[in-house]
Every structure is written in structure tokens, then in C-alpha cells.
Structure 1
Amino acid sequence: MHIEPVTLGLLLLLGGFTGFLSGILGVSGGFLMVPALTLMGVPVVKAAATSLVSIFLSVSSASIRTWLRGDFNFRASWQLALLGIPAAQLGAFLAGLLPDSLLSGGYAIMLLVTIYLMNLRQSLSEKFKAEESVSDEVESGKGWEFAKIGLAAGLMSGLFGIGGGIVIVPMEIIFIGVPLPLAVSHSLGAMVAISASGLTQHALNAHVLWLPGFCLGAGGILGSQIGSRLLHKWPANVLNKFLQVLLLALAVYMTGRCFWGYLV
């Protein structure tokens, strides 16, 4: 895929913005990158695969920052990744079998679900805002719950090219009672392994556009570092509202792409 200078700049900016979201909200930017790449003429399956390149780089960068800050929990992250890794492989395999129009429709539904999960996470974070930590006893007794959450996140990651944090964070808060900052750090760690797994399967299927992916990733690394530094400071509710409007617009676009694919 040849990249013009203007396109290169757009990819870097897009990667920076989505990386910022990854660091500050604990969610991947794939839900923005995939529709943006389809606007450039990339099929959904290749857009999802390419998105995972950037996601892997940006969440790795954010996870390093979280680890240096002392907030990284290897046990919880790997419990999430236990079933998330094979689920991402399955999702990537299924993505290669589905037609572009069906993937577009599924992506539109995923975006609407994402809006709901963002609202849910915001309400849950307010409910649990007084909690600063979760005990080792709670975490050690919830390994299977972490694994089941990772299973859902991994399947969505491989199928749609997202990191899965938008699933992990609210489900951790609901089912395990993990406070928001810890849930974000857990999701970042798990997303490193989950995105790598899905990316590997997509690469084997020759779906990955490596140069655009690395361009998105280069911007994502810088953006994730800024976002992770502002994790405890940024007014996330303002950013959430902006994102919800953007996601709704993208859902409409992907729905139109779905119906257009069936019409033609």
C-alpha cells in the first residue's frame, strides 16, 4: 500500500489520538482506526489486522509506563490473557472467512455496544470511586472470572481489530469489583498479549498492511505515553461524551457500508 505524505501525516495523527485514548481510558483505538482505514479503501478484515499492529505497539508502551509507575499487576493481566490469547486466534480466523459486508455490519453493532459499555463504565466508576485498591484475596479467588472476561475480549479483538479493553474494564468492575484505575492497568497488560495473538493469526493469513500499521503505531506510542500520564488527572467524562458522538457517527457509516455491500 503506497502512502502519500498527506496520508502518512493523517495516519500518524490518527495513531496519536487513539494511543492517547488507550493510555487514558484503558481502551484500544481500533474502533476508530478500522473505519478510518476502510475510508481509505482498505477491506474491513485487513483494516482490523492492520489496526492490531498499532494497538500492540501503543498498549505495550502504555503498559511499560504503568509498570514503571508501580501499578502493573502481572497476575491479573495474565489471567485475563489466559483464554484471551486463543480467543483472539479464533476471532482472526473467523474474520478471514466472513464477507466484508457482514464484518461491516458486525462492526457497527460492536460500536453501539461500545457506547453502552462506556456509559456503563462511567456509572460504575462513580459507584466504586471510593475504592482505591482490591485485596490480594479477592484477586486470587477470581482467576476464572478474569479468564472468562479475557475470552470475550480476545474474540472481539481478533474479529474486529480492537484491543478488548472496552470489554475488560467494565466487566472487571461489575463482576470482580476492581476499581477503575486498576481495571485500566489490568486491561493494558492483557491487551499486549491478546493483540499479539490476533496479529499473529492475521499475519499468517496475509491480512496485515505493515507500513500503515507501523505509522499508526508510531503515533500511538507517543499518544499512549501522554494518556497514561494523565490517567488519574484527565476529566474522562468529557472525553467519553465526545467519543460517544464519534462512535455513533462511525456506526452509521459502517451500517451504510454493510447495506451497500449487499446492494452491489
Structure 2
Amino acid sequence: MLLETPIGWGLLFVIGIFAGVLSGLMGIGGGLLMVPALTLFGVPVVQATATSLVGVFLSTVSGSAHNLSVGDLNWKASLILALFGVITAQVGAWIGDHIADAWLSLSFAVFLLVTIYLMNLRQQLQHKESEIEAQTLELETHPSELSDSSTPSNRFVPLVGIGLLAGALSGLFGIGGGVVKVPLQMLFLGESIKTAVRTSLGAIGAIAASGLAQHAYNHNVLWIPGLCLGMGGIMGAQVGTRLLPRLSDRVVKILFAIFLLTLSIYMASHGILELASQTNSSKLDV
């Protein structure tokens, strides 16, 4: 099996780099790339989601460490997202372990389509982001103030809800939940996209660790492939977090939407083929 050879490990390392760049740029865990890539190696979806969480955890810790070092991380908001996300990550991992491979693939495809919608929602909120950036210009001039920004009570409930939803998706699909957290933070908390990305990334490591613990208990994790993804993710996240302030949001959003659509088509095809295979097997048994 290619996944058990040095060539396969090298390919996973490269995939991890790309996933890490996406992680740093968009506040996601990178599982959206890692899971389909692992299925291409013949790994069942439940093992692919579990293994991807190793890479997600390492890459997000790497990116968040950089953001924290330069004072761009609101660690209080990230902590709230993480604490409540950890709770539902266990639930998501348990559900994923009890769903047939075919239906998990189809569910993942639907989720990717929903993600495209959420990305479009970000674009619709672009004008609101401009107003927020003008109001927070002084904070951006002094990054240390941003990292120590308070989390007032009127932000607590939305952060809890966002964390709970993102945690469930993390455990179920092997992702960090950033594709949900970022647009919801913009919508309900009025954050700029770059602030939301950094806050989301800061929470993903803990959420992914929780889902990983559940999958490890169920013996679903392929540790060597996961570490290969993670080592690449550590490098890629450093690149992504440094590119974030320099790239056009519009270009990144368009490319990401195309990327998600491609993955959605692939995962849907994978699920349909699995269902067809199960149907044929049932007919043969009869």
C-alpha cells in the first residue's frame, strides 16, 4: 500500500504543507484537503477523518503560535470557542464512528456545498467589514491591544453557540470547523475577516485534539500518515499566517470556492460508488 511507503509519506508531507497554508490563510484546520487526499490512498473515510485531525492539530498550533507571538490573537475569544467546541467534538466523533462510509462521504459533500454558501456570505458582509476596519484602525496599529481584547458578556453567548456547532463538525468530518466559525463570527460578532480567521485558528487546535482523542480511543487513527501531514502542516501554517495580511480577500475566496466545489464533487462520487457497491453486494448475497 502506497500509504505505508516513504513515497507515500512524502506525498502526505506535501499535502500537509498545502493544508497548512490554507489553515493560516483562512482560519481552517486543513481537514478539507487532508480527508479527500487520504481517501485517494484507499483509506476509509472514518479513518481518514481521524488521521487528518493529527495534521489539523499540529498545523493550527503552529499558525496560532505565530499569531500569538506578534500579538494578533484574541486568546480569550479563542478559548471560549475551544472550550465549548471540545464538548461537541466528542459527540461528532462518536456519530462518525457509527455512520456507514458511503453516507459519511455524501454528508461531507453536502457540507462542502454549505461551506461555499458561507464563503459567499462573507462576501456579502464585505461592506460591513470595511466599517469595522475603520473603527478598529487604532487596535490594528497596536496589535498588542488586540491580543488582550476583552470578551464582553454580549459576545459570550454567540461564541458559545459557534463553538458548539464547530466542535460537532470537527469530530464528525475531521475538520477544525473554521469554515463555520469565521463567517458566523463576522455575522454575529461584527468581526473583520482577518480577526475572525485568527480567532478561529486559535480555537481549532483544542477542538481537533478532543476529536482526535475520541478517534484514538476507537483505534481509527493512522499515526505515521497523520504525523507526516502534521509536519507539513507546521511549515505551511507558518507561510499562511504570514501571507494573510498581504493577499486580496476576493482572490482567496474565489479560489477557495472552486477548491471546495471540486472536493464536493469528488466526495459525492465516492459516496455514490460506495452505495452502488453495497447494492451490488446485497443483490449477490440474495
TM bracket (short chain): over 0.9
Per-residue CA deviation, residues 46-102 of structure 1 (Å, 9 max, x unaligned), is: 000111100000000011001001011221011112321010010001111111001
Deviation for aligned residue 1:140? 3.8
1:91 maps to 92
Q: How many aligned residue pairs are there? A: 264
For residue 166 of structure 2, give the secondary structure of its aligned residue in structure 1: helix
- Which aligned pairs between 1:88-237 and structure 2 lie closer than 5 A? 88-132=89-133, 133=136, 139-237=152-250
Any conservation in 2 of the 1:61–1:225 contact (CA below 8 Å)? yes
AA in 2 matched with 1:104? S
AA in 2 matched with 1:146? L
Match status 1:250 vs 2:250: no
Deviation for aligned residue 1:137? 6.8
* Structure 1 Cα separation of the partners of residues 62 and 220 of structure 2: 24
CA RMSD of aligned residues (A): 1.7
2:253 maps to 240
Deviation for aligned residue 1:245? 1.8
Per-residue CA deviation, residues 10-64 of structure 1 (Å, 9 max, x unaligned), is: 1111100110011011122111111111111000010001111000000000110
2:284 maps to none
* Structure 2 Cα separation of the partners of residues 18 and 38 of structure 1: 15
Deviation for aligned residue 1:138? 6.6
Unaligned 5+ residue runs, structure 2?
A: 140-145, 278-286
CA shift in 2, pair 1:83/1:138, >3 Å: closer
Deviation for aligned residue 1:128? 1.0
AA in 2 matched with 1:220? G
Per-residue CA deviation, residues 78-133 of structure 1 (Å, 9 max, x unaligned), is: 11123210100100011111110010010000111111112222332443123234
* Structure 1 Cα separation of the partners of residues 120 and 41 of structure 2: 30
CA shift in 2, pair 1:67/1:260, >3 Å: same
1:31 maps to 32
AA in 2 matched with 1:161? G
* Structure 1 Cα separation of the partners of residues 238 and 208 of structure 2: 18
Deviation for aligned residue 1:181? 1.7
For residue 70 of structure 1, give the secondary structure of its aligned residue in structure 2: coil
AA in 2 matched with 1:84? G
* Structure 1 Cα separation of the partners of residues 125 and 23 of structure 2: 19
* Structure 2 Cα separation of the partners of residues 125 and 21 of structure 1: 20
2:283 maps to none
When the two structures are superposed, what TM-score results if normalisation uses the length of structure 1? Answer: 0.95
Mark the structure with the bigger radius of gyration. Answer: 2
Of all paired residues, the percent bearing the same amino acid is 49
Per-residue CA deviation, residues 171-221 of structure 1 (Å, 9 max, x unaligned), is: 011011112221111101110110111111111111111111110111111
Match status 1:16 vs 2:29: no
Any conservation in 2 of the 1:59–1:191 contact (CA below 8 Å)? yes
2:45 maps to 44
